[in-house]
Structures are given as structure tokens and as C-alpha cells.
Amino acid sequence: MKITFVENKYKIAKRFKDVLTEKVNKLDKYFGEDATVRVVCSKQNKNEKLELTVKNKGLLYRSEVSSLNMYDNIDLALPKLEKQIVRNREKLTDKKRGAGKSLGFEFIDELPEVKLPDIYKTKSFDLEPIMVEEAKDAIERLGHTFFVFLNAETGKVNILYRRNDGKFGLIEVNY
């Protein structure tokens, strides 16, 4: 497992790297050598924030926590990641067996009018080819409302999003 550390207004100590590396390497039981972990440590006011992102075979697992102590963040973030990984494995196992769960959605008749905020943060990431079903799983696993991915079938950039009625929509980007 390859681990990359990123410092953002926070100096990462060697001891912290060693402790985190040792604990993250316990996730090896779920992944092969291809997995990569991106660790972002930042300081926001008095809180210290830890972001862990694991990429493996087109799948993405992410945990973000903040507290007064970065070492406490390790113990908060890793169980979140492991829970996502285990839940995803169970879901894949259920799909192979043909078992399906019906998802309960709460329908909202009318959304309140809101003023859209300005863009305050920009992220970039590498696209890896995955299937549409894997993108659906990523939305569920990460708790996001949309997912940008490179469609393995078409070779085009797609955006999968959850509609208000609970169904999925797919946007195919032509460029």
C-alpha cells in the first residue's frame, strides 16, 4: 500500500507518520499492493483535520475528521474507513448472491428557495475507468449526491447523480 502525505498549514512529525503508517497498513487485509492512501493533515483555527482517501481498483473510500489532537483523529478516521470497506464488501457479496435491498427514500414536495454559495474550494482527482454499477456503489458508500467517473464501456467522462425522486441520472460528457 502506497501512502502519500500532504501538509496543509500543518507540519507532520515523523512519529505521527510512523504511527499512521502502522495503523493504515492494517487495512492491507482488504487491499492488494495496488491500493494508494492519500493523507491530508491541516490546521483550522484550533482544530487539526485529518483526511484519509483510499483508492483501489477504481473504488474510493474517504474519511474526514477534525479534533484538537491529530493522534485522536487517527482513531476516529480509521474505523470510518473500515466500516465503508466492510459495508462495500457485504454489498458486493449480496449482489453476487442476487440479494437486493429496497432503499427507503423520503420524498420532499417542495424545496425552500436558497441562495447558492460562492465556490470556496476546488478539488482535483484522477479518473479511472469503472462501470456504471461501481459508480452507483461509490455514491452509496461515500454518501455523495453525485460521482464523476470515466465510463469503462464508453471511454467518456460521465457524471452519475441521485435525483430528488431517489432514482439515478447519468450525464455523458462529450468533448
65-123 pLDDT, tens digit each: 999 999 999 999 999 998 888 888 777 776 666 654 444 445 455 556 667 788 888 88
Cell triple for 136:
452507483
Class of domain 129-172: alpha beta
Answer yes or no: are the C-beta atoms of 67 and 77 closer than 8 Å.
no
Cell triple for 131:
462501470
Cell triple for 26:
492494517
Q: What is the pLDDT confidence band of residue 151, given thresholds at 50, 70 and 90?
A: very high
Distance, CA of 63 to CA of 37 (rounded, Å)? 11
Task: Tell the CATH superfamily of the 2-90 domain.
Answer: Ribosome hibernation promotion factor-like (3.30.160.100)
* pLDDT above 80 for 28: yes
Mean pLDDT of 5-28: 90
> pTM of the entire structure?
0.57
Q: What is the mean pLDDT of the chain?
A: 84
Residue with cell 505521527: 16
